[in-house]
Structures are given as C-alpha cells and as structure tokens.
Amino acid sequence: MIQVMIYRYHARYLINIWNDNAQLIAGLAVARPYFDKHIKKKWFRKWMKYTKEEKRLRRVEDMRRKIREAEMIEAEKDVDDQETFFLTERELKLRNKRLKEKADRLEKERVEAMWEEQRHKAKSVVIRVRQTNEREAHKKNKKVQKKKVNDAFFQKVREKVMGAAEKEAVEYLTANKEGGQMFKKLWREVYDESMQELRTRIQQGQGRIAESAWEAMEQGEGAMSVASPIAYVNSITMESFLFSGMTKKRAKAIATANFVSQSQLSKLAAFDKKQKDDEEHFHMVDMAIKIQARYRTKLAWRKAIKYLNEIMIKVFDATSNTTYYYNMRDRIVIYEKPKLLGRRNDLGFLAQWQIQYDYEEFMDYIYYHRKRPWEKYTDRIPGLMTCTECNFYFARRRCQCDACKAQLDHSHIYTCFTCFDKLHPTVDSYGVKNLPVPNICYREVEKFKCSICEDKVGDVYCRQCNFGDVFCNNCYKLIHAREEFYGHESYPVC
C-alpha cells in the first residue's frame, strides 16, 4: 500500500516537471523572434558602448603613463637644463643667476686645474733639475774616487819600481864587471874632487846629484855649524861629515847613492811615460766605445723608426676632428704619439686626401686635399675608393681571408680601418684571441690603379679576379672578353 502511494507521488511529480519544461520550451520558441528583434539589438548596443568606453579609458591610461614617464625624465634632469617655456619671469631670473654662478664656478675650476697642471710641471722641472745636479755631483765624486784609487795604485807600483830599480842598480855595481869598473870610476870622481870644484858645483845648484840622499852644502846651510866651509849630509839617515873627513868608504857610499838615484829616476821617467801612454790609450778606447755605442744606438733607433713606419700610420678622424695612430699589425688605436719617435720625428699622414667637416662653406663633410686645400668635394672623388661597408671613409684594407672569400657575393673586400676591425674582431665571443687576418693595407688612397696597365686610375674591380683586382674600363673589357671570365661581375670603384 505504501509502495503504491510512493509510486503515484513520484509519477505525479515527474509529470509536473515534464509539463513545466514543455511549457518553457514552447515559451522560448514563441519568445525567440522577439529576443532576436529587440533584446539582442539592445544588448549589442550596450556592448559596443562598453567597448568604446574601455578603449577610451585605455587611451587615457596610456597618456597618463607617458606623461608620468616624461615627468620622471624631466625630474632626473638638472633643474637649469629644463625647458624655460613654463617658467615665470622670476624663475627665469633665478635660473639665469644660477647658470652664471655655475659658469663662473666651472671657469674657476678650469683655471685652477690649468694652474695646478702648470705647478705640477714646474715642480717636475725643479725635480728634474735637482736630479740632474745630483747625477752630475755623483759623477764628479765618482771620478774623484776613481782618481784617488788610481793614484794609490800607481803610487804602490811606483814604490815597487823604485825598489826594483835600486836592487837592480846595486846588483849591477857589485855583480857585473862593467858595473864594477863604472863604480870604481864614480867613487874616484867623488874622492878626487877638489874643494874649489865642489864649491863651484854647489853655487850652480848641483850640490845633490840626481835626487841622491847625499848632498854637499856650504857652511851655515841647514843645521850645520862647523869650521870647514863644505860638508856632506845624508837626508835619510841624517849622517854628516866635513869635506876634510872624506874617505874611500864614504866616497863609495856617495857614488852608490848617486847611481841608484839616477837609475830610479830613469825607471820612474819610463814608468810615467808608460802610464801616460796607457791613460791616453784607455781614454781613446773608452771614447771609441762611447762613440760606437752612440752610433749603434742611432742605427737601432733608425731601424726601429723604419719598422714603426711600416706597422703604424697617422690617421685623421673626421667625426672627432682629431688624429690618432693606428697599429696595422695589432690593430690598436692610440691618440698619443709613440715615445719612440721622440720630439722631432713624427709619422706622416696616411694620404693626401682627407675627410673633414666644413663649418664655413658647405656645412657638411667634404673630401679635401691636404696640399691643395682649395680642392673640396662633397661627393666621392673619381678613382678614390670608399669603404664598401660605411660608404664614407676611404678604403684602406683589402681583405684576403678565407671566410670572406667563401662569401664572395656578400663579403666586404675594401674597407676602412674601423669597419675592418668590426668585421674581423681580434677576440671572439669567448675571449679567445683570433688568428691574424691576411689583408693588404694601402698607405695611400691614390694607389687604386689598374692592375694590368698600372698607369690609369682604376674604374671597376672584380670579386672573382684575385678577390678584388682593380681594372680600368679598357683593360676590364679586354680581359673579361675571354670565355673563362664569363660570369664575372664588375663593381665601380667609387
């Protein structure tokens, strides 16, 4: 009974749901034409209005964002560098006052920096002068010390020479037969000399014979106080005796001393002469060494200058209006003159034709001749090749690398120094140094002449002929009329 009731309830509920759905579907079918005609159009208008408003709001937001960015950029600028359009008269006066103070401050700083540089130079000059004086004093002291050492050395040698001469003279008088006869003759002359002869010799200033130790003097000379007017005195041993006390033994001693002193003087004269000759010889050798060193230094310097002229050139940069030195081997740019050139020498310009900005007549970059400055051209000059990359500077390098030859139709053969360095960097992306790139450097831009006749200026160049040979028009037509040159293309030089 209960199950029958439940079934009847659910059946009635399901029938009601089915009836409601059927009526809803029927109502929608009836209402669809009204919805398509009125409701859809109404909501479409609302959607269009909404999208327009969204677009407007987005444009406003973009404008606000740009204004904020411009304000931030303007705020980052210096206050005195801002635009003066929105400034009042008072703000303009304050701004001009600040600008004047700023200019005065910068000028003061510039003058102070200039004077600081001058003071530094003057200080460096004083330091160099002091160092030069110290070097000169050191050289002088060194010469004095060297002279003292040499004098001490030669004094010792002289003493040895005098000792050896004395020993040799004594041996000659005692051990040699001829010396014995000479010794006998000498002491006889001293022993047999009369007082009158001795007085005459003393008056002539010959009381001492050849710097001998024994000296004859008259009465009252020196410390002598004797009755006899003539006496002999030994300056070394201070031994003395009167002329009347002359004996054979004393005569032999005087003769020996006289002969030894004469021998020593002759040896010393020979030694001094040899010393003087040696000093002159060593002085000449020293001067010859210095002259040879200077000459070799000059030759080496000339060779270095010649090599420097081969690998470096002086270039004028039109964009910065300055000159720089370019190392063609290492591809390095320096703006200071190499110290090896010195103060008087310098590298010549790369070519007679240069590029410079003309501020007076054309107000543009022009090509002009350094020796004929009245020749000015705004367009490229016939016969002078410009860089195939920048099409501005003159071509200076002709690439011969395999990578460019592989890309025959797209590679740049004739380039300037800057473009060549950009296309062929010295270091790769990993920091590894690349191998040198084979190329031909043209020191003069006027050297692009025909490779066949070598007389006329080149008009065209061919990529397929030795990767960039230059030809005049006649030679190009004659050479490329052959069958093997079919397919070659010509490119104008300028």
Q: What is the pLDDT of residue 40?
A: 65
Q: What is the pLDDT of residue 150?
A: 85
Q: For residue 394, what is the DSSP state? A: B
Amino acid letter at 399? C
Q: What is the pLDDT of residue 153?
A: 87
Q: Give helix 177-192 / helix 89-175 axis angle, nearest 10°.
A: 90
Distance CA 415, CA 448 (A): 13
Structural domain contains residue 57: no
Distance CA 43, CA 40 (A): 5
pLDDT tens, 367-380?
877 777 777 877 77
**Domains: count for the chain:** 2
Instruction: Determine the 3-state secondary structure of 361 from DSSP.
Output: coil
The per-residue b/e assignment along 129-157, b for 16 or more CB within 10 angstroms, e otherwise, is eeeeeeeeeeeeeeeeeeeeeeeeeeeee
Does the global pTM surpass 0.75? no
Structural domain contains residue 442: no
**Residue 220, Ramachandran bin (φ over 0: left; ψ between -120 and 50: alpha; else beta):** left
Q: Which of 248, 274, 300 is the last residue of a domain?
A: 274
- Residue 218, beta-bridge partner list: 230
Q: Which of 274, 292, 310 is the last residue of a domain?
A: 274
Structural domain contains residue 19: no
For residue 487, give its domain range.
449-494
Distance CA 447, CA 458 (A): 9
In contact, 399 and 424? CB cutoff 8 Å? yes
Q: What is the pLDDT of residue 4?
A: 43
Q: Which of 238, 253, 274 is the last residue of a domain?
A: 274
Q: For residue 455, what is the DSSP state? A: S
Q: Please classify residue 257 by burial: count the beta carbons closer than 10 Å to its beta carbon, then call 0-12 exposed, 13-18 middle and 19+ buried.
A: buried
Return the number of other C-beta atoms located less than 10 Å from residue 81's C-beta: 9
Output phi, psi for 258, to 5 deg: -65, -45
- Joined together, the tokens standing for residue 226 give 């004797």
CA 328 to each of CA 158, 325, 385: distance values in angstroms, whole numbers, following the listed order: 65, 9, 19
Structural domain contains residue 468: yes
The per-residue b/e assignment along 294-308, b for 16 or more CB within 10 angstroms, e otherwise, is eeeeeeeeeeebeeb
Percentages (nearest 5) of helix, strand, coil residues in the chain: 55, 15, 30
Structural domain contains residue 50: no
Structural domain contains residue 119: no
CA 264 to each of CA 234, 250, 259, 438, 490: distance values in angstroms, whole numbers, following the listed order: 18, 21, 9, 80, 99
Distance CA 44, CA 192 (A): 167
Residue 203, CA atoms < 13 Å, CB-side half-sphere: 7
Pairing type for strands 312-317 and 240-242 reads unpaired
Q: What is the pLDDT of residue 284?
A: 93
Distance CA 318, CA 313 (A): 16
**In terms of DSSP H, where are the helices of 176-319?**
177-192, 195-203, 248-311
Output phi, psi for 491, to 5 deg: -125, 135
In contact, 355 and 394? CB cutoff 8 Å? yes
Q: What is the pLDDT along the chain (494 residues), one digit of tens a residue?
A: 444 444 455 555 666 676 666 666 666 666 666 666 666 677 777 777 888 888 888 888 888 888 888 877 766 555 555 556 667 788 788 878 888 888 888 888 888 888 888 888 777 778 888 888 899 999 899 989 988 988 888 888 888 888 888 888 888 888 888 888 888 888 888 777 777 777 777 777 777 777 777 777 776 544 444 444 677 787 777 777 777 778 888 888 888 888 888 888 888 888 888 888 988 998 899 999 999 999 999 999 888 888 888 888 887 776 677 788 888 888 888 888 888 888 778 887 666 777 777 777 777 777 877 777 777 877 777 667 778 888 778 787 888 777 777 776 667 778 888 888 888 887 777 766 777 777 777 766 666 778 788 777 777 888 778 777 888 888 888 888 887 787 787 777 76
From first CA to last CA, the distance across the chain in angstroms is 115
In contact, 232 and 175? CB cutoff 8 Å? no
Instruction: Determine the 3-state secondary structure of 355 from DSSP.
Output: strand
Distance CA 395, CA 418 (A): 10
